[in-house]
Amino acid sequence: MRDEGAADTLTRQVVERFGSLDILVNNAGVAIHGDSADFDDETWRKVMSLNVDAVFRACRAALAPMRAQGSGVILNIGSMSGIASNIPQNQVAYNSSKAAVHMMTKSLASELAAENIRVNALAPGYIDTDMSRGGIENPEWFPIWRNMTPMGRVGQPDEVAAAALFLCAPASSYVTGEVLVIDGGYTTR
């Protein structure tokens, strides 16, 4: 999705094949850990390019067909890292990028609500996925993650999927601009 033309191409292909674009889910991301002083511009841009720029390009590409049909749903996958700084891992670029996704979601929701296009985001916490596996298996990180999560466990992908289904379904037709946190209570502390 870092290819600047990919979102336009995929959107066009979806509309040609299915006749409309009803739901867009932006679910891609990269997290790079490390001391901020060691982050060079290339590493920073790598994170921002996928986590922020690609999300915006996909949202922008979806606007024409959604406006033409008079409705649509955009769901951006943010992170609790856009709300709370994770510890013990240092990840300034990832945290900053996910905070940007949350604000992008709110800004687009405000702009598009009158056009019957809803825009929301999910902010998952530590979920048992390939992206989190290194931390879950890390004997230093995982006990801290578990102890800081009131529910005392990592989440499961189906728990995130259920929230995504709700935000994309008619059951949430009066919900826009929300960032739904799914983190076992991590951000309550």
- Can you give 117-180 as a three-state secondary structure string? EEEEEEEECCECCHHHHHHHCCCCHHHHHHHHCCCCCCECHHHHHHHHHHHHCHHHCCCCCCEE
Tell me which residues are annotated as active site: 94
Q: At what angle do helices 6-18 and 54-69 cross, to 10 degrees?
A: 30
pLDDT at 2 over 80: no
Q: Tell me the pLDDT tens digit for each residue of 106-119.
A: 999 999 999 999 99
Q: Tell me the pLDDT tens digit for each residue of 124-140.
A: 999 999 999 999 999 99
Q: In whole numbers, what is the pLDDT of the chain averaged over residues?
A: 96
Residue 1 covered by a domain: no
Q: From CA 61, how far away is CA 11, in angstroms rounded? A: 6
Per the model's pLDDT, the better-predicted residue between 42 and 189 turns out to be 42
pLDDT of 1 reads: 63
Read off the pLDDT of each residue in 153-168 and give the average, rounded to a whole number: 98
Read off the pLDDT of each residue in 21-44 and give the average, rounded to a whole number: 95
Residue 188 covered by a domain: no
81-90, 167-176, 178-187: least confidently modelled range: 81-90
**Cβ distance 168 to 73 under 8 Å?**
yes
How sure is the predictor about 28, in pLDDT bands with cuts at 50, 70 and 90? confident
Quote the number of domains for the chain.
Answer: 1
Q: How far is CA 26 from CA 7, 43, 58, 101, 160, in A?
A: 11, 21, 7, 10, 14
| Alpha carbon 96 to chain centroid, angstroms | 12
Residue 137 covered by a domain: yes
Percent of the residues in the chain that have a pLDDT greater than 90, as a whole number? 95
- What's the domain range around 13? 6-183
The two beta strands, 117-124 and 23-26, are unpaired
Rg of the chain (C-alpha set): 17
The CATH number of the domain holding residue 142 is 3.40.50.720
Read off the pLDDT of each residue in 143-150 and give the average, rounded to a whole number: 96
Residue 136 covered by a domain: yes
Q: From CA 108, how far away is CA 120, in angstroms rounded? A: 9
Name the pTM for this structure.
Answer: 0.96
Q: From CA 96, how far away is CA 75, in angstroms rounded? A: 19
Residue 189 covered by a domain: no
Read off the pLDDT of each residue in 79-83 and give the average, rounded to a whole number: 98
Residue 148 covered by a domain: yes
